[in-house]
Structure 1
Amino acid sequence: MHLFLLLILQATAALGQIDPAHCRYALGMEDRRIKDDDITASSQWYETTGPQYARLNREEGDGAWCPEGQLEPSDSQYLQVDLGRLTFLTVVGTQGRYARNSGNEFARAYRLNYSRDGLLWKSWKNRLGNAVMEGNKNAYTSVINDLHPPIITRYVRLIPVTKLSTTVCMRVELYGCPWEDGLISYSAPEGQLMMPPGYPIASLNDSTYDGVHERRRLFGGMGQLTDGVIGQDDFLVTRQYHVWPGYDYLGWRNDSLGTQGYVEMEFVFDRQRNFTSLKVHSNNMFSRGVKIFSSVSCWFKPRLIAGWEAESVAFKTVLDDRNPSARYVTVPLNRRTAKSIRCRFYFADVWMMFSEISFQSEDTVLPTQITLEVTSTPVTEEGTMATTPKTAVNASTSDPPDDGNTPILIGCLVTIILLLVIIIFLILWCQYVCKVLEKAPRRILDEEVTVRLSSCSDTIILQTPPVPPRSGHGPTVPANTDPHYERVFLLDPQYQNPAVLRNKLPELSQSAEASACGGGYAEPDVTQCTPHQCFHSNAPHYAETDIVRLQGVTGSNMYAVPALTVDSLTRKDISAAEFPRQQLIFREKLGEGQFGEVHLCEAEGLPEFLGEGSPLPDRDGRSVLVAVKQLRADATSQARNDFLKEIKIMSRLNDPNIIRLLCVCVSSDPLCMVTEYMENGDLNMFLSQREIESTLTHANNIPSVSLSDLLHMSVQISSGMKYLASLNFVHRDLATRNCLLDRRLTIKIADFGMSRNLYSSDYYRIQGRAVLPIRWMAWESILLGKFTTASDVWAFGVTLWEIFTLCKEQPYSLLSDEQVIENTGEFFRNQGRQIFLYAPPLCPPSLFELMMRCWSRDIPDRPTFEGLYQALRPHVNQ
């Protein structure tokens, strides 16, 4: 029973990790979960403009909170909100005072102060050190600011900022989720500089730490170890923009900490807890002297004024010298009770780097009499800790047992354990249901909302009401005029059944023969049905047999090619030459799938091997980088056939804007195919690290691209897709992550973005198996499993949008994955409720109109790739 309970607790811990991208729930200003008494202010102009009226999208009282008098530049008036518990705060939304068209006061900028205990207040700053956030530009439009970094707090103060004497008013909503860890501060040595020869200098400090820096130690605060940002395998590569190498990690060098050989950290919590485990995300790039910690010892303090308990918990890790991937290391803490924990992490190499630390605990603190303690910590061969539990008792061992009370005590213990198991099961079930049904507010899909993002900041504008009319009447919210309308939540298991979904969507009740529309993989011209038949004959469902095959055996995308079978594929069907595999030198793993991997390799002697007419660019004597897809030796026969099919597909491709198959290694296992790779990497990474060309970028040597460059990239992608469409090939995963660039900015469309961990957040996992790039997929691909050249056109429109936003954000970044899927249902219904991507500021209006045509609901209304190419080509200087 105890082992079963421990397994459940560990499963619960795996679900407890904070993800800032999804921790964006409204905390209760608008819907009044935050009570009036929890909203206070430094002052108010009138009773009717008190802090209780500072609720986003509400028009009560005189419409907002307004501090007394004119706000001066030197003033520090504030609105304070008590969230009632520790909260991981990620987003702040503000409005001005509209008051049914009678008000026009708003804050153009504001600062944010926060406190975890209501006594010690801290000032929020973004990752570049700026404390002032952009506010409102009018009285009715909502402005949503993402907090980068997010903060852990209970109390929040919004402090309006002005440059001139003016009247300000504010309405507010806060977004985030509960901070279940309970951690309120950690202390550690300061991070250090890493200056490796031949690499950029890496500053491994905790740059967002909000505590005290004293004598090269950090005290009493929180920072990057609790911001939800997980460092990448290469610690020099960051997930943030405009920051320095090593930013995502806090790191220490062994010899800089004296002879102790460990890093000591202390953690303080909001209350006494029973701790089940500690999770540490650690870098393991051993080729540069970085490894996960070799072992850790933790001591516990039940109260802050108490001493450290003598008995520690020790854990030894299994060091990995083959896989350089960063990883979470889970340390069992054996349900020890504490309010403070001290841990010593021992070095396994020259450097040790952490990006995230989290604790898993139970809310109920068990009495000392039944606390399980650890007496010894031998390590098994698998690296897990073997513990010998003992039960602390009050009576002397020399006293005879009380036979009358023992059965009662055992019965009570069994009852408590059973109750805990039931409670934990219910919690897990509730979490599952919440994830399935997505309890985040779905108001965003019920209103006619225009979503756009500023190109040069983290400010998002949600224009909820329309532009105020010129008459004296304020804007009104359109009512739902269709009482029979029922929203379809496509993640509900009942909607996996097409018959059930036809009942939910009356538009689908007139079903035609599926064969008339050619569902599945087909080139659009093959279908002979009318638009009405094609879109109303098949019930939307997850066509899982189609979608699962979207992913190739190496984790990469698989082109869909009608009429190509694998029944008779052999070596003689492969036209590519056999390359000596010993001349492939491994550089790094790009990604992996169920039966294979994608590696970045150097290919020695490849230009000479390919001979005259080689597709490789002039390398000026430098080594040739190639992408190698490799099938594992234990792959199934079906996987081998799929791999050979992929080779045959790739061997048919010959276009300057498509990645080409160069050679193969199939004479022995493991089977390999060698394709081009470009030194500038993928387009997503390339653009996200650049700004639009201007005098400022030239003066400061900031990497930049011009509008002409962006148009040239767009033309090349359309040219490559035009070629694929001419062969009836359907790509099914077109995105900037699948477009590679050489040093001359030549683009080649690739197919292995899906396999790369770097872009795992771009894919949604369905039924625990298939992964879908849902933010790039046409509605018919998600609902019908229908992948065609027309659905590639839809993805091309999203790819254009990425290019002209310089890949600074994910498509539909305000929507969760589940809301994106729900939005496809709105595209299907075509009742005007669907949400489109906003027009990027850099994008010419004619080009955005072209994007909108790519997202047409009906296939005949979407342009062809030939038409897209002809439309884009005149914009590029020849």
Structure 2
Amino acid sequence: VIFWIFVLDSVSHSRTHCRYPLGMEDGRIKDHDITASSQWYETTGPQYARLNREEGDGAWCPAGLLQPSDTQYLQVDLGQLTFLTVVGTQGRYARNSGNEFARMYRLNYSRDGLLWKSWKNRLGDKIMKANDNSYASVIKDLHPPVISRFIRLIPVTQVPNTVCMRVELYGCPWHDGLISYSSPEGQQMYSSPGYPIVSLNDSTYDGVHERRKLSGGLGQLTDGVIGQDDFLVTRQYHVWQGYDYVGWKNGSLGSGHVEMEFVFDKQRNFTSMKVHCNNMFQSGVKIFSSVSCSFKPRLLANWEAEPAEFHTVLDDRNPSARYVTVPLGRRTAKALRCRFTFADMWMMFSEISFQSGEKGRWVNTVIPTQMTPVVTSAWPNEESQPDNGNTPVLIGCLVTIILLLVVIIFLILRCQYVCKVLEKAPRRILEEVTVRLSSSSDTVILQTPPVPPRVSQMDPPYERIFLLDPQYQDPAALRNKLPELSQSAEASACGGGYAEPDVTQCTPHQCFHNSVPHYAETDIVSLQGVTGSNMYAVPALTVDSLTRKDISVAEFPRHRLFFREKLGEGQFGEVHLCEAEGLPEFLGEGAPLPDRDGRSVLVAVKQLRADATNNARNDFLKEIKIMSRLNDPNIIQLLCVCVSSDPLCMVTEYMENGDLNMFLSQREMESTLTHANNIPSVSLSDLLHMSVQISSGMRYLASLNFVHRDLATRNCLLDRRLTIKIADFGMSRNLYSSDYYRIQGRAVLPIRWMAWESILLGKFTTASDVWAFGVTLWEIFTLCKEQPYSLLSDEQVIENTGEFFRNQGRQIFLFPPPLCPSSLFELMMRCWDRDIADRPTFEGLYQMESSG
């Protein structure tokens, strides 16, 4: 019994976890399976369209300039029917010699290579956003997923442009073999007056919809989304009630049953059919009372005379939705016709799947066997062996499987115990992150984007410094290593923004000791924050007494939030873009929201995951308390919260113009040419105004002794009037994953924006925020066209911080941006001063920028 429960549960949930690379990057998809409508050169042919690979000239590029009316495509033959859930794209980097990428693309697919269909999301949009640079990969989930063998990616442009693409596809084999189902169209449920109409149609069906009949396609019944107990509650955001179900009303079809036909890719031996049904009998909805399935061995043959019939046991006590398993007696067919008989006024399905196989064997899993263990069952053919020989074999197999499960459970429990013991032991991260400074012969490991080393010419030898070595956690040892740091550290720790304003004053020695925190892994993980970011870190704030009364913003009705898209995620939380219905009226006059005449407004919603730890929950409430105290025109504002029930949510402003990095990277400097060709542009005064606004917001945070730790253009949002508000969403977004350096696969640090003392000593103060502000200015005046230190790998960036540590004149600075006034670049250089005490304050920076 345990075995069958495990098998059926793995079948029902495998589609939702089907996110495995299908072989573009690792070469399992062969060159001859990748074709294209055209190619620029032989070295930019379709065989080079492999994610994270640099063969040939680095990508597939269609011939000539891509016009808005063109339909150039890259086609991939997956070799078998596949459940496709994710698409990843890149541009042509070509070892820093290419800068072509597609900003948008469409997706066409075919199950037979003849009939092509256009993918569209659940809201009907066909265009998918792609890349903003040539090296970062952008991963897009397909909602709904695609069942297909052939895939075409069609780049889209709004102006004539050269595009190149690298691609990876993610999913798993479609072992159901179902290529189409036909059924009556779903119907509408009319409830009481004043209540919305519940539409139970198959909204993602990709076949023919004619005369109230669906034929020749697949849709919501095979998309892997299981409907909930209450059919009015949906798993998708911003869709209508009843969206997850396809439903029919008794009597509306001229009979007491619903007839569906299922066509498969080949002849199969069917063991069973699983139908997920709603059973909300209080609303007149029940599972079907019986089903009769007929079989057709070939498409041109007649239906066999003897159907397989099954009567369900109706349940009037438990309204939960459930799977109903219909045995099919291991009958062989290529098509099935099933008639489901009504048991009440309505019948609703959300998923239908089949267990079948060839030559008496059946499998039903969508996880590739070469990547993940799967649970399968093999049945001997009834005709090949007598029944008296099956029983001992089955008993032996079941006993073996049960013993294996017992061993696996024991190993899992043992592993969990060992992991808990190891977590209590001292942790070291020296092997993962070190400053490689022993000699010029050290091996340099290049990471994306790959670039030629520029720091290998430094003169050997010098002392080898280990990042976060225990000696740097000892104040006395550190003072011997770096005497001048102790003076600046004593000054900055007592009033330097590492604690709240009401922190008790300390002695110079205590302040210095506290200013060099140990860098244990538990502390590193906390740097990510609950949602994968770290807004205004305040380590001295306790949460022992943090309750709802400490939160100064109002509780917003959760049902008024409508999902638009996921912006990103972290270790214990997610950030969503949502529409908040009636928020201006809820907040009242003076709310920092655009005027929408009472309509919904866009907001960013941070949500704590259900599996979050108690520490993460406390951190989330602490972040709410901190943000509720912030009120500045250039700081993102907490508007309201949803904390009366789980999951905990905080609702903040969202700027319609997105983040500053994306805004600037899509623009050029203002000129006669940009005006004449209507090219989006910015002026020098615009850039200066942006810089002043950021320094104003950081001046406000510094006045409260708050430390941001992740200031960058990706964390600066803009509204329609180009007002900038500092936020913290950048780290949680896949778009900027290459801006962060990962430690032991867990913690991530924005090392290209971090001061040397933050990387080497784990020391974060307002002075380290000033360093990051200088890098942010550099981004602004390069129009975010490249990453800081783009010619250095991540390891080389860390090496460079060691040069700041030794202060022997070998450190590498960012080059002056061509658009930047010399006086402003001098200001950047002051922000990157090696000595903490010599860096300007944000108050001084604001005054200098405002006056200059």
When the two structures are superposed, what TM-score results if normalisation uses the length of structure 1?
0.51
Question: Which of residues 644, 650, 655 is equivalent to 2:621?
Answer: 644
SS of the aligned residue for 1:286 comes to: strand
Distance 1:443 1:790 in 2: 32
SS of the aligned residue for 1:731 comes to: coil
Q: Is the 8 A contact 1:600 1:628 kept in 2?
A: yes
Distance 2:597 2:706 in 1: 34
Q: 1:547 Cα shift? A: 3.1
Task: Give, as a single letter, the amino acid of the residue that structure 1 aligns with 2:104.
Answer: G
**The 10-residue stretch of structure 1 (509-518 or 864-873) with the greater mean CA deviation from structure 2:** 509-518
Q: 1:671 Cα shift? A: 1.2
Q: Is the 8 A contact 1:753 1:759 kept in 2?
A: yes
Q: 1:563 Cα shift? A: 4.0
Q: How has the CA–CA distance of structure 1 residues 700 and 637 changed in structure 2, closer, same or farther, with 3 Å as cutoff? A: same
Give a deviation string over 1:178-227, Cα, whole Å, max 9, x none. Answer: xxxxxxx99x9x99xx99xxxx9895624xxxxxxxxxx899xxxxxxxx
Question: Which of residues 240, 244, 252 is equivalent to 2:108?
Answer: 252
**The 10-residue stretch of structure 1 (377-386 or 770-779) with the greater mean CA deviation from structure 2:** 377-386
Task: Give, as a single letter, the amino acid of the residue that structure 2 aligns with 1:705.
Answer: V
Q: How has the CA–CA distance of structure 1 residues 538 and 434 changed in structure 2, closer, same or farther, with 3 Å as cutoff? A: closer
| Equivalent residue number for residue 427 of structure 1 | none
Q: Is the 8 A contact 2:740 2:751 kept in 1?
A: yes
Distance 1:506 1:376 in 2: 77
Task: Give, as a single letter, the amino acid of the residue that structure 2 aligns with 1:601.
Answer: C
Question: Which of residues 217, 231, 239 is equivalent to 2:89?
Answer: 231
Q: 1:558 Cα shift? A: 3.2
Q: Is the 8 A contact 1:548 1:770 kept in 2?
A: yes
Q: Is the 8 A contact 1:664 1:673 kept in 2?
A: yes
Distance 1:741 1:151 in 2: 35
Distance 2:72 2:663 in 1: 24
1:826 aligns with 2:684: no
- Trace 1:486-525 onto structure 2 (pairs within 5 A): 486-488=463-465, 490=467, 495=469, 498=472, 507=481, 523=497
Distance 1:569 1:437 in 2: 38
Q: Is the 8 A contact 1:520 1:785 kept in 2?
A: no
| Equivalent residue number for residue 152 of structure 1 | 55
- Trace 1:488-637 onto structure 2 (pairs within 5 A): 488=465, 490=467, 495=469, 498=472, 507=481, 523=497, 542=519, 544-561=521-538, 563-619=540-596, 623-637=600-614
| Equivalent residue number for residue 857 of structure 1 | 834
Q: Is the 8 A contact 2:668 2:783 kept in 1?
A: yes
Distance 1:790 1:835 in 2: 19
Q: How has the CA–CA distance of structure 1 residues 689 and 620 changed in structure 2, closer, same or farther, with 3 Å as cutoff? A: farther
| Equivalent residue number for residue 656 of structure 1 | 633
Q: 1:813 Cα shift? A: 1.1
Give a deviation string over 1:334-390, Cα, whole Å, max 9, x none. Answer: xxxxxxxxxx9xxxxxxxxxxxxxxxxxxxxxxxxxxxxx99984345645559999
Question: Which of residues 739, 763, 767 is equivalent to 1:786?
Answer: 763
| Equivalent residue number for residue 143 of structure 2 | 286
Q: 1:802 Cα shift? A: 0.7
Q: Is the 8 A contact 1:295 1:315 kept in 2?
A: no
Tell me how many residue pairs correspond in the alignment: 531
Q: Is the 8 A contact 2:543 2:618 kept in 1?
A: yes
Q: How has the CA–CA distance of structure 1 residues 556 and 260 changed in structure 2, closer, same or farther, with 3 Å as cutoff? A: closer
Q: Is the 8 A contact 1:445 1:823 kept in 2?
A: no
Distance 2:514 2:824 in 1: 33
Distance 2:685 2:360 in 1: 67
Q: Is the 8 A contact 1:651 1:661 kept in 2?
A: yes
| Equivalent residue number for residue 749 of structure 1 | 726
Distance 2:695 2:484 in 1: 37
- Trace 1:375-390 onto structure 2 (pairs within 5 A): 378-380=362-364, 383-385=367-369
Q: 1:522 Cα shift? A: 5.2
- Trace 1:657-806 onto structure 2 (pairs within 5 A): 657-806=634-783
Q: Is the 8 A contact 1:557 1:753 kept in 2?
A: no
Q: How has the CA–CA distance of structure 1 residues 204 and 560 changed in structure 2, closer, same or farther, with 3 Å as cutoff? A: farther
| Equivalent residue number for residue 836 of structure 1 | 813
- Trace 1:335-414 onto structure 2 (pairs within 5 A): 378-380=362-364, 383-385=367-369
SS of the aligned residue for 1:719 comes to: helix
Distance 1:805 1:14 in 2: 35
Q: How has the CA–CA distance of structure 1 residues 639 and 503 changed in structure 2, closer, same or farther, with 3 Å as cutoff? A: closer
CA RMSD of aligned residues (A): 5.5
Distance 1:497 1:701 in 2: 58
Q: 1:630 Cα shift? A: 1.0
Q: How has the CA–CA distance of structure 1 residues 758 and 506 changed in structure 2, closer, same or farther, with 3 Å as cutoff? A: same
Q: 1:121 Cα shift? A: 13
Q: Is the 8 A contact 2:731 2:737 kept in 1?
A: yes
Q: 1:729 Cα shift? A: 0.8
- Trace 1:266-285 onto structure 2 (pairs within 5 A): 284-285=141-142
Give a deviation string over 1:41-98, Cα, whole Å, max 9, x none. Answer: xxxxxxxxxxxxxxxxxxxxxxxxxxxxxxxxxxxxxxxxxxxxxxxxxxxxxxxxxx
Q: How has the CA–CA distance of structure 1 residues 515 and 556 changed in structure 2, closer, same or farther, with 3 Å as cutoff? A: closer
Q: Is the 8 A contact 2:552 2:628 kept in 1?
A: yes
Q: Is the 8 A contact 2:633 2:697 kept in 1?
A: yes
SS of the aligned residue for 1:285 comes to: strand
Distance 2:112 2:597 in 1: 42
Distance 1:292 1:763 in 2: 35
Q: Is the 8 A contact 2:175 2:364 kept in 1?
A: no
- Trace 1:123-522 onto structure 2 (pairs within 5 A): 151-153=54-56, 205-206=73-74, 230-231=88-89, 244-247=102-105, 251-254=107-110, 257-259=113-115, 284-286=141-143, 291=146, 293=148, 316=175, 320-321=224-225, 378-380=362-364, 383-385=367-369, 485-488=462-465, 490=467, 495=469, 498=472, 507=481
Give a deviation string over 1:210-265, Cα, whole Å, max 9, x none. Answer: xxxxxxx899xxxxxxxxx9428xxxxxxx97755435x7x4343994249999xx
Q: 1:822 Cα shift? A: 1.7
Q: 1:853 Cα shift? A: 0.5
Q: 1:618 Cα shift? A: 2.4
Give a deviation string over 1:79-124, Cα, whole Å, max 9, x none. Answer: xxxxxxxxxxxxxxxxxxxxxxxxxxxxxxxxxxxxxxxxx99566
Q: 1:769 Cα shift? A: 2.1
Q: Is the 8 A contact 1:521 1:787 kept in 2?
A: no
Any stretches of 5+ residues in structure 1 without a counterpart? 1-12, 20-119, 128-146, 157-175, 177-184, 207-216, 220-228, 233-239, 264-279, 297-312, 326-343, 345-373, 391-431, 448-457, 466-476
When the two structures are superposed, what TM-score results if normalisation uses the length of structure 2?
0.52
Give a deviation string over 1:376-411, Cα, whole Å, max 9, x none. Answer: 984345645559999xxxxxxxxxxxxxxxxxxxxx
Give a deviation string over 1:577-620, Cα, whole Å, max 9, x none. Answer: 11111110000111112222111000111111111111113236
Q: 1:14 Cα shift? A: 9.2
Distance 1:695 1:825 in 2: 45
Q: Is the 8 A contact 2:668 2:674 kept in 1?
A: yes
Distance 2:139 2:653 in 1: 32
Any stretches of 5+ residues in structure 2 without a counterpart? 1-19, 27-38, 78-86, 91-97, 120-136, 152-171, 177-221, 227-234, 238-264, 266-357, 379-428
Q: How has the CA–CA distance of structure 1 residues 377 and 703 changed in structure 2, closer, same or farther, with 3 Å as cutoff? A: farther
Q: Is the 8 A contact 2:581 2:599 kept in 1?
A: no
Distance 1:444 1:864 in 2: 40
Q: Is the 8 A contact 2:111 2:150 kept in 1?
A: no
Distance 2:586 2:117 in 1: 51
Distance 1:740 1:320 in 2: 36
Q: How has the CA–CA distance of structure 1 residues 767 and 517 changed in structure 2, closer, same or farther, with 3 Å as cutoff? A: farther
